[in-house]
């Protein structure tokens, strides 16, 4: 079976790097699957679960705020602000952060519209994350 090079990175670490059979994720424009010889592309990701299939095994990661690209050589990359292996995410920590975000958004705390919108997008992504875990 054909494979292609793929990497998943954050500003702090390389989360995954290697040859894969397929990658599934959701961009801001919809769900997609990257396969060998995929056309070049660039897309943005607010929040998505990324499924990496290789050698009959599939791993999944939750990513937040990133980009996906496939270059002319068929190398696929996802770069994200945050990425965690799905099985390591705890629902309790997400709920605690949601409470914090709700306080920040409702209290204002001198936040401008851009900051409030950013926090609202974070809240939406976390709520989706929570629904995928529970």
pLDDT at 36: 96
pLDDT at 60: 92
Residues 122 and 40 sit within 8 Å (Cβ to Cβ) = no
> In 3-state terms, the chain is what percent helix, strand and coil (to 5)?
30, 45, 25
pLDDT at 58: 95
pTM of the model: 0.73
Q: Which of 105, 93, 79 lies closest to 10, judged by CA?
A: 79
Taking only the tens of pLDDT, the chain with its 134 residues reads 799 999 999 999 999 999 999 999 999 888 999 999 999 999 999 888 899 999 999 999 988 889 999 999 999 999 998 888 887 766 677 777 788 888 888 876 778 887 887 778 778 777 776 666 54
Q: Which of 70, 65, 73 lies closest to 23, judged by CA?
A: 70
- Cα R_g (the chain), whole angstroms: 16
pLDDT at 86: 81
CA neighbours closer than 13 Å in the CB half-sphere of residue 70: 16
pLDDT at 133: 57
């Amino acid at each position: 079976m054909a494979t292609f090079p793929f990497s998943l990175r954050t500003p702090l670490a390389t989360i995954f790097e290697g040859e894969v059979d397929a990658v599934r994720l959701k961009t801001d424009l919809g769900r997609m699957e990257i396969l060998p010889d995929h056309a070049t592309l660039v897309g943005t990701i607010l929040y998505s679960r990324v499924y990496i299939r290789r050698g009959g095994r599939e791993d999944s990661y939750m990513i937040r705020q990133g980009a996906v690209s496939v270059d002319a050589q068929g190398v696929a990359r996802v770069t994200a602000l945050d990425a965690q292996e799905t099985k390591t995410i705890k629902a309790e920590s997400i709920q605690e952060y949601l409470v914090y975000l709700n306080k920040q958004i409702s209290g204002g705390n001198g936040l401008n519209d851009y900051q409030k919108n950013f926090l609202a997008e974070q809240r939406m992504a976390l709520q989706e994350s929570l629904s995928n875990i529970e």
